[in-house]
Amino acid sequence: MINSASIQASKSSMLIFRLKEVQAKYNIASKDLAECIGVTPSLISEWRSGRKHPNLGRVNAILNAILEIGDKNRLQLYPMSLSELIEWRPVQNEKSAEQSKED
């Protein structure tokens, strides 16, 4: 099970926003992240849960904030990348899933 916020990019693809996992990995509190990028902690909570999704400018701000306030030792051992925060996946509808099983 993916414990990340999902963004429907189109009918055939989905973006997975992994803020919760990234915050845990780099030891970043929601309150600190919110303060660093100039939003409310409740908006961070909504992004983490998938109720809302940040725009591209906010994603950039989030990445910069992680580099600024994240655990420096972990950032050195495990450098941050955009693909760690956002993942793209094709969405299989029931028809294509059945065809894959038959092949």
Structural domains of the chain, ranges and CATH numbers in brackets: 5-91 (1.10.260.40)
**Residues 38-95: pLDDT tens digits?**
999 999 999 998 888 899 899 999 999 999 999 999 999 999 988 899 888 887 765 5
DSSP 4: S
Q: Do 25 and 35 meet the contact criterion of CB atoms below 8 Å apart?
A: no
H or E segment and range at residue 17: strand 13-17
Confidence class of residue 2 from pLDDT cuts 50, 70 and 90? very low
Q: Do 90 and 12 meet the contact criterion of CB atoms below 8 Å apart?
A: yes
pLDDT the model gives residue 5? 59
Three-state DSSP at 3 gives: coil
Q: What is the DSSP track for 27-95? A: T--HHHHHHHHT--HHHHHHHHHTSS---HHHHHHHHHHHHHHS-HHHHHHS---HHHHEEEEEPPPHH
pLDDT the model gives residue 3? 45
pTM recorded for the entire structure: 0.74
Residues 6+ apart with CB under 8 A from 81: none
pLDDT the model gives residue 6? 52
